[in-house]
Amino acid sequence: MKITVVGTGYVGLVTGTCFAETGNEVTCVDIDANKVKKLSSGQVTIYEPGLEKLFERNLKEERLFFTTSLEEGIRDAEVIFLALPTPPGADGAADLSFILKVADQLGKLLTDYKVIVDKSTVPVGTAEKVIAAIAQNCKTAFDVVSNPEFLREGVAVDDFMKPDRVVIGTNSERARKIMGELYAPFVRQGNPIIYMDEKSAELTKYAANSFLATKISFMNEIAVLCEKLGADVDMVRRGIGSDDRIGKRFLFPGIGYGGSCFPKDVQALVKSSQDVEYDFKILNAVMDVNERQKLFLVPKIKAYFNGDLKGKHFALWGLAFKPNTDDIREAPALYIIDALVAAGATVTVFDPEAMENVRQLIGDKVQYAEHQYTSLDHADALIIATEWSVFRTPDFHKISASLKNKVIFDGRNLFEVARMKEMGYHYESVGRITIA
């Protein structure tokens, strides 16, 4: 099948590459000429494990093309995916201007039947708006399908190639058949394609992300309570996770959720609820807890240094909002950096993949270390903000040799508390006993 993907960010590039991998001819369109130039010349523009190999193969086999021209990009396509940004607007609602602008352009360009697929995360009712925007100028038949994307950055290729489920929202038989064919190779193991109406598909994505964010904030509150009551959140987590109804996954406490999805999607669902005069109480609490949790370590750090961080220097490991990605959108590390710098401290950071993005965003607000261990030189303490595997079993001799004091504030509970005590560290983590 010939398909087009409009928007080649984290979702669009993975979507386009994976559809090419199953034999489709894919043209990816982006307004960012620099990105298109890099991609066309074989350079992958995001860090995503496993993507490069697939990308190179499909570029070489001439199943993957890039252009800045929407007109050229959609010419022969049967299906057009919109993988465009839907950032939060000033009132928290998803900003649909990227989607509706392209929909408007498509209306002028369509000359034969095509399926236009919303892959972006969009509020209920967006499919109707996209239909209206296209129909204004369009003289040919078309269908709009809601097909939300559930991939997780860091394992996006695996998630796309073997999705837990594919959700397809459409009432058109014609579109349903085409979408079913396109996705058939991805669900051969038996995971379902779930067909539904457009509105239910749109809400499914927000419900999924909001539920997961709720799970995180819930565990973060349990962690706070553990510290106050003298319990150990690791034990509680294991104790509850073995119940099938709760499940083991996604129960790890930490310094809050970040990224380009959970914060904006929870906010957008709250706004959608307000618009229909419904007060979604749980989600308001989920957001409040997360705001507090992002800075969870800061009072602990201040308390350790008797409330005065002026002139203190910190090493910070982990900038990406989670491991295996270079995405720093809404990353808790950035909030911690702001708080430390505002309190008069200096920070040297290290991240395996996200340094360049941080440099572009905050420049010389922090210093950038070449290596995880050189970041520690002359630091008063180490702070850990992202659970990259490479931080899990570090060389503690190197750490203690470089740090001024053996002090670690760990926002991701990477190390065993007892082991840290044995090694003589002052170690603070989330929801567990502090070893002084």
- Catalytic residue annotation: 261
Q: Report whether 205 belongs to an annotated binding site.
A: yes
Among 21, 143, 153, 410, binds ligand NAD (CB under 6 A): 153
Q: Report whether 245 belongs to an annotated binding site.
A: no
d(CA 222, CA 366): 33
d(CA 124, CA 292): 29
Query: Is 353 a binder of ligand NAD (CB under 6 A)?
Result: no
Task: Closer to ligand NAD by CB, 74 or 340: give it.
Answer: 74
Question: What is the smallest separation between the CB atom of 281 and ligand NAD, expressed in angstroms?
Answer: 24
Question: What is the smallest separation between the CB atom of 250 and ligand NAD, expressed in angstroms?
Answer: 15
- Name the residue among 147, 135, 256 with its Cα closest to residue 195: 147
Pairing label, strands 25-29, 142-146: unpaired
Pairing label, strands 142-146, 114-118: parallel
Among 64, 131, 151, 212, binds ligand NAD (CB under 6 A): 151
Query: Is 155 a binder of ligand NAD (CB under 6 A)?
Result: no
Interaction residues for ligand NAD, span 17-46 (CB under 6 A): 29-32, 35
Query: Is 100 a binder of ligand NAD (CB under 6 A)?
Result: no
Task: Closer to ligand NAD by CB, 38 or 398: give it.
Answer: 38
Burial 2-15 (b: 16+ CB within 10 A, else e): ebbbbbbbbbbbbb
Task: Closer to ligand NAD by CB, 325 or 413: give it.
Answer: 325
Query: Is 102 a binder of ligand NAD (CB under 6 A)?
Result: yes
What 3-state DSSP class applies to 308? coil
Query: Is 110 a binder of ligand NAD (CB under 6 A)?
Result: no
For 127-181, give the DSSP string.
HHHHHHHHHTT--S-EEEEE------TTSHHHHHHS-S-EEEE-S-HHHHHHHHH
- Name the residue among 229, 392, 139 with its Cα closest to residue 221: 229
Q: Report whether 86 belongs to an annotated binding site.
A: yes
Interaction residues for ligand NAD, span 245-264 (CB under 6 A): 260-261
Degrees (nearest 5) of the Cα angle 425, 428, 432?
120
d(CA 105, CA 137): 9
Among 4, 9, 126, 263, binds ligand NAD (CB under 6 A): 9
Query: Phi and psi of 397, rounded to 5°?
Result: -65, -45
Query: Is 147 a binder of ligand NAD (CB under 6 A)?
Result: no
Count interface residues toward ligand NAD (CB under 6 A).
26
Q: How many other C-beta atoms lie within 10 A of the C-beta of residue 396?
A: 16
Q: Report whether 329 belongs to an annotated binding site.
A: yes
Q: What share of the chain is helix, strand, coil (3-state, %, to 5)?
A: 45, 15, 40
- Name the residue among 343, 396, 385, 352 with its Cα closest to residue 370: 352
Among 85, 89, 92, 241, binds ligand NAD (CB under 6 A): 85
Query: Is 120 a binder of ligand NAD (CB under 6 A)?
Result: yes
Interaction residues for ligand NAD, span 167-226 (CB under 6 A): none
Q: How many other C-beta atoms lie within 10 A of the C-beta of residue 282?
A: 13
Count of alpha carbons within 13 Å of 416, Cβ hemisphere only?
5
Query: Is 101 a binder of ligand NAD (CB under 6 A)?
Result: yes
Query: Is 7 a binder of ligand NAD (CB under 6 A)?
Result: yes
Query: Is 149 a binder of ligand NAD (CB under 6 A)?
Result: yes
Q: Report whether 129 belongs to an annotated binding site.
A: no
Point out which span in 82-90, 215-223, 232-240, 334-342 binds ligand NAD (CB under 6 A): 82-90
Question: What is the smallest separation between the CB atom of 138 and ligand NAD, expressed in angstroms?
Answer: 18
Q: Report whether 415 belongs to an annotated binding site.
A: no
Burial 88-125 (b: 16+ CB within 10 A, else e): eeeebbbbbebbbebbebbbebbeeebbbbbbbbbbbe
Q: Report whether 250 belongs to an annotated binding site.
A: yes
Question: What is the smallest separation between the CB atom of 73 and ligand NAD, expressed in angstroms?
Answer: 9
Question: What is the smallest separation between the CB atom of 235 and ligand NAD, expressed in angstroms?
Answer: 32
Point out which span in 95-103, 267-275, 373-381, 382-390 binds ligand NAD (CB under 6 A): 95-103
State how far Cα 39 lies from the chain centre: 21
Residue nearest to ligand NAD (CB): 9
Helix (H) / strand (E) containing 361: helix 355-362
Query: Is 12 a binder of ligand NAD (CB under 6 A)?
Result: yes
Which residue's entry shows tokens 């360049």?
356
Binding residues for ligand NAD, per CB under 6 A? Answer: 6-12, 29-32, 35, 83-86, 98, 101-102, 120-121, 149, 151, 153, 260-261
Q: Which residues are annotated as a binding site?
A: 30, 35, 86, 121, 150-153, 205, 250-254, 258, 264, 322, 329
Known binding residues for NAD(+) are 30, 35, 86, 121, 153, 264, 329
